[in-house]
Amino acid sequence: MAEPGLRELKKARTRRLIAETAARLFAERGYEQVTVSEIARAAEVAEQTLYNHFPTKEQLVTDREQQIQQRLSDLIRSRPEGTSPAAAIRDYVLETVSAIRGMPQENARGTLGYLAAISPAVNRLALELTDRQANALAAAIGESSSIAPEIARLQGIALAGVFQIIISESGRRAREGQTVTEIADALHPEIDNVLTELDHWLTR
């Protein structure tokens, strides 16, 4: 029987392979035109294995949602006294933008941002993701401060809006033919500026 660490590593590799395969196929043919069965065949995994990692097709384009949401919430909850929620997540958000450079160029048109820009169905998924993220961040803010629930909700919406900007701007730039390096280089100062403004606003 495989050791727990080795088993988890294998699962993570399989999940990444499926996600990257889906991104490549979506980039080549579009979200609506690709079936789950085709993704499984291209990734050389059983269809049930794919569903074990991604219960729905939609999750193939929002595959990092839970990971990002959990990390943001943890950073907000554990922030030092006097640190705004925007400052607490700043480094992680900018690292996420910088990580765009490491994406295979051929997968750029298979990202959530690009697909949302060309597909109404995926755009709906992106908006729903942003709403879920706003709720999660509002909960983290409310649990870690004494502000009124409606203000926590407003702050959660503002912080989730940062990722909405990343999604929409990266998609727009990919449609214009920019490389992943160009996208990351352009987005980094923009998001840095947005987070600075939010930090000023949220610092009490």
Yes or no: say if 61 and 34 are a contact pair by the CB < 8 Å rule: no
Yes or no: say if 124 and 61 are a contact pair by the CB < 8 Å rule: no
Q: Taking residues 140-166, report their average pLDDT.
A: 95
**Amino acid at the residue 61:** V
Yes or no: say if 155 and 137 are a contact pair by the CB < 8 Å rule: yes
**Integer Cα distance of 12 and 4 in angstroms:** 12
- Letter string b/e over residues 135-169, b meaning 16 or more CB atoms within 10 A of that residue's CB: ebbbbbbbebbeeeeeebbbbbbbbbebbbebbbb
The superfamily (CATH) of domain 4-56 is Homeodomain-like (1.10.10.60)
pLDDT tens digits for range 183-202: 999 999 999 999 999 999 98
- Please state at what angle helix 149-175 crosses helix 120-143, rounded to 10 degrees: 150
pLDDT of the residue at 2? 52
pLDDT tens digits for range 91-148: 999 999 999 999 888 878 888 889 998 888 899 999 999 999 999 999 999 999 999 9
pLDDT of the residue at 117? 87
What is the pTM assigned to this prediction? Answer: 0.84
Residue 3 has pLDDT above 70, yes or no: no
**Amino acid at the residue 49:** T
Categorize the per-residue pLDDT at 172 as very low, low, confident or very high, splitting at 50, 70 and 90: very high
pLDDT tens digits for range 41-99: 999 999 999 999 999 998 898 878 888 999 999 999 999 999 999 999 999 999 999 99
Q: How many CB atoms lie within 10 A of CB 122?
A: 23
Contacts of 60 (CB under 8 A, 6+ apart): 18, 19, 22, 26, 36, 39, 54
**Integer Cα distance of 192 and 53 in angstroms:** 33
- For the chain, which residues make up each domain, given as ranges? 4-56, 65-202
